[in-house]
Amino acid sequence: GESVGLHLPTLSVQEGDNSIINCAYSNSASDYFIWYKQESGKGPQFIIDIRSNMDKRQGQRVTVLLNKTVKHLSLQIAATQPGDSAVYFCAENMGSNTGKLIFGQGTTLQVKP
Amino acid sequence: EAEVAQSPRYKITEKSQAVAFWCDPISGHATLYWYRQILGQGPELLVQFQDESVVDDSQLPKDRFSAERLKGVDSTLKIQPAELGDSAMYLCASSQSNPEKLFFGSGTQLSVL
């Protein structure tokens, strides 16, 4: 079936380095993608989104890249800080305009001081 | 900043008992979602409301789960009877009428003993 997945369950980076979290999706009809951050015991928090008619979008310290050719999504975090430690999920809207998001399994980002 | 409110924060119950979760979405958000998140996995949609109507409940175990949003504002999710496998985080989310960016509450952590 259709699914959204992440390449690595855990990513460990040094404080101050840049982080790259990857996600592969399988539904070519998906037209909207979101990255969420989830800290322990909390609900997912919106980070950044991108529509399928774009290939890059920047926020504050974060950049999302979309490669529709290979169905790949990535989240780049610049100058990673201890507060960035969390689980990161990518999610795709299946293109039905219903708002139904399909979430991947998540990547745990660990920031070493 | 407006938030999605959920209660209770934690719930411990014995199997075969009934449990109920409450959610108050961000004011003005017409679309409300209930997601279930098993530890270590991404959230999975249980039910989606547009105002007071169910839009998608295809993943809701209807033999034991029910959800309502009678006045199109707050919502209740019920499980009766609870089973051991229902132990999970139950997340509520809402979005404006343009159903893309979802805002999540902090969730209800359910433990079934």
Which pLDDT score, from 0 to 100, does residue B101 have? 85
Which residues of chain A are within 8 Å of residue B93 when distances are taken between CB atoms?
A: 43
Q: Which residues of chain B have pLDDT under 70?
A: 97-99
Label residue A2 by pLDDT band (50, 70, 90).
Answer: very low
Q: Do B100 and A98 touch (CB under 8 A)?
A: no
Phi first, then psi: give them for residue A83, nearest 5 degrees.
Answer: -70, -10
Question: Helices H, strands E: what count in chain A?
Answer: 0, 11
**C-alpha of A20 from chain center:** 9
Distance of alpha carbon A33 from alpha carbon A69, whole angstroms? 15
Phi first, then psi: give them for residue B85, nearest 5 degrees.
Answer: -70, -5
Label residue A96 by pLDDT band (50, 70, 90).
Answer: low
- pLDDT at residue A6 is higher than 60: no
Nearest to B42 among A45, A46, A106 (CB): A106
Label residue A8 by pLDDT band (50, 70, 90).
Answer: confident
Residue of A33, A101, A108 to mutate when probing chain B, most B C-beta within 10 A: A101
